[in-house]
């Protein structure tokens, strides 16, 4: 019974996080944000053997060989990449959460994800994973911010050209 209750609680947390990510976003961003939250949750909360079943033994072998050339293992890369992606999407998809709110949200998600792993079968919360989650989330926020500045700069350069074209069409 305890297992079923923890599964229901975990499912409610996952759906709540997905809905929160999608809230106040454009329809396309809602789909991407909600879907990404679901995928991230699956990677964080499914038991390792289920993930191996989804990816396949060859896929896990390839990932292990790739990770062996880095200072991190597959689990650390998974946590880092999930949170980098979520941080990037949070920055780009939720304009209302930029600035200190985005930083706070990444911290809350990094800690909450690890605490929630205690509810998942075969998973346990780890402090080093919280740190990896934070580093990944901050990387995503910084990448999103940099992309925003780059896109704004490109649009600013295009505006004079677009203005001249529309004047010539008149």
| Rounded distance between C-alpha atoms, residue 161 and residue 155, angstroms | 10
Is the pLDDT at 73 greater than 50? The verdict is yes
Mean pLDDT of the chain: 82
Residues 84, 139: contact at Cβ < 8 Å? yes
| Rounded distance between C-alpha atoms, residue 90 and residue 29, angstroms | 10
The residue-averaged pLDDT of 4-15 equals 74
Owning domain of residue 98: 2-169
Q: Please, which pLDDT band fits residue 164 given cuts at 50, 70 and 90?
A: low
pLDDT, tens digit, 9 for 90 and up, residues 76-91: 888 898 899 989 988 8
Residues 133, 113: contact at Cβ < 8 Å? yes
The residue-averaged pLDDT of 71-78 equals 85
pLDDT, tens digit, 9 for 90 and up, residues 133-151: 999 999 999 999 999 899 8
Number of domains in the chain: 1
User: What was the pLDDT predicted at 1?
Assistant: 44
Q: Please, which pLDDT band fits residue 123 given cuts at 50, 70 and 90?
A: confident
| Rounded distance between C-alpha atoms, residue 106 and residue 89, angstroms | 11
Q: Please, which pLDDT band fits residue 23 given cuts at 50, 70 and 90?
A: confident
pLDDT, tens digit, 9 for 90 and up, residues 30-55: 888 888 888 877 777 766 666 677 77
Is the pLDDT at 110 greater than 50? The verdict is yes
């Amino acid at each position: 019974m305890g297992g079923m209750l923890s599964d229901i609680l975990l499912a409610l947390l996952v759906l709540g996080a997905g809905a929160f990510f999608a809230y106040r976003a454009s329809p396309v961003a809602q789909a991407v944000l909600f879907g990404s939250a679901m995928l991230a949750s699956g990677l964080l909360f499914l038991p390792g053997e289920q993930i191996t079943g989804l990816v396949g033994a060859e896929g896990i072998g390839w990932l292990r060989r790739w990770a062996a050339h880095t200072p991190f293992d597959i689990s650390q890369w998974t946590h880092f990449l999930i949170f980098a992606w979520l941080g990037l999407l949070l920055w780009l998809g939720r304009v209302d959460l930029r600035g200190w709110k985005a930083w706070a949200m990444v911290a809350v998600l990094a800690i909450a994800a690890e605490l929630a792993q205690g509810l998942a079968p075969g998973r346990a919360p780890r402090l080093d994973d919280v740190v990896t989650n934070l580093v990944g989330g901050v990387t995503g926020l910084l990448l999103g911010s940099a992309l925003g500045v780059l896109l704004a700069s490109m649009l600013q350069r295009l505006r004079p050209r677009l203005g001249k074209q529309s004047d010539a069409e008149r």
